[in-house]
Amino acid sequence: MALLEATGVVAGYGAAEILRGVSVTVEEGEVVTIIGPNGCGKSTLMKTLAGLVRVRAGSVRFEDADISAYPPERIVRAGLCYVPQSNNVFPSMSIRENLEMGGFIRAGGVAERIDEMFSLFPDLGRRPSLKAGSLSGGQRQMLAIARALMLDPALLLLDEPSAGLSPAVMDMVFERIRGINESGVSLLLVEQNAREALGMSDRGYILVSGENRLEDKGQALLDNPEVGRLYLGG
Ligand SMILES: Nc1ncnc2c1ncn2[C@@H]1O[C@H](COP(=O)(O)OP(=O)(O)O)[C@@H](O)[C@H]1O
Ligand SMILES: [Mg+2]
């Protein structure tokens, strides 16, 4: 059984139907990347999986439950955590306070989990009292991811974690993401830096106009000349 199985998901905003029957699966242990043109509905899909946008038709199964109608906090508690593309940390709070907020629904072990996050992300551990708002783009992204990891999710949804980062920082972020996956967390990413993301993904999906266009192994998508021409900038 798949860890996450979204089937024929329809969702949108008011009269605007954005997702027109999208299906995505993540198996336990996988890294899966979704790419597609701007505005095709990638972020909407992430928000829908996280329970922030309502599933109008179709279904979302996570582990052994139908979570299609769960409110966001219940989805988080079930082990599915979402890191939005922006505004994903509390800028006026310190690094440590952000992590405490991330862990507030933990039964216990918050301090221990924060220590684990500091060994996973040494940059954050060096100055835990620093305000999140003063961090560089890459560090801020690390903090947002660490905040989500405070709850030991089985599946992490990351919406464009490398957006706006320099190539060197982007490599660092992807390296960390790989490490998170190796620690046992399954990952569903949305990425504009499609080559790098597909290169580290087990599988990928191409979404166009709120519909599935193509689905294959990450490397197979990279090797597909049509994908290269249309979606990877030649
Ligand atoms: N809160 C919203 N209200 C209304 N329309 C929205 C909202 N968020 C996104 N949209 C629209 O939904 C479509 C898909 O957006 P989005 O999911 O953000 O695409 P992507 O992440 O693939 O670039 C776009 O046409 C966008 O303008
Ligand atoms: Mg987006």
Q: Please answer whether residues 6 and 25 qualify as being in contact, where contact means their C-beta atoms are separated by less than 8 angstroms.
A: yes
- What's the 160 CA to ligand 2 centre distance in angstroms? 7
Q: At what angle do helices 110-120 and 95-102 cross, to 10 degrees?
A: 120
Question: For residue 230, what are the contacts with CB-CB under 8 A and spacing of at least 6?
Answer: none
Question: For residue 60, what are the contacts with CB-CB under 8 A and spacing of at least 6?
Answer: 4, 5, 6, 7, 9, 48, 49, 66, 67, 68
Nearest to 43 by CA among 81, 2, 82, 15: 82
- What's the 203 CA to ligand 2 centre distance in angstroms? 19
Q: Is the pTM of this model over 0.85?
A: yes
Cα gap 151→146, rounded to integer Å? 9
Domains and CATH numbers, the chain: 29-54+69-206+214-231 (3.40.50.300)
DSSP 3-state assignment of 28?
coil
User: What's residue 106's pLDDT?
Assistant: 86
Ligand 1 pocket, CB under 6 A: 13, 16, 18, 36, 38-44
Average pLDDT over residues 169-182: 93
Q: Please answer whether residues 210 and 42 qualify as being in contact, where contact means their C-beta atoms are separated by less than 8 angstroms.
A: no
Of 42, 43, 157, 209, the one to substitute when testing ligand 1's pocket (max ligand atoms within 8 A of C-beta) is 43
Q: Please answer whether residues 172 and 97 qualify as being in contact, where contact means their C-beta atoms are separated by less than 8 angstroms.
A: no
pLDDT tens digits, 197-230:
999 999 999 999 999 999 999 999 999 999 988 8
- pLDDT confidence band for 105 (50 / 70 / 90): confident
Question: 116 phi and psi, to 5 degrees?
Answer: -65, -40
pLDDT tens digits, 6-48:
999 999 999 999 999 999 999 999 999 999 999 999 999 999 9
- What's the 159 CA to ligand 2 centre distance in angstroms? 7
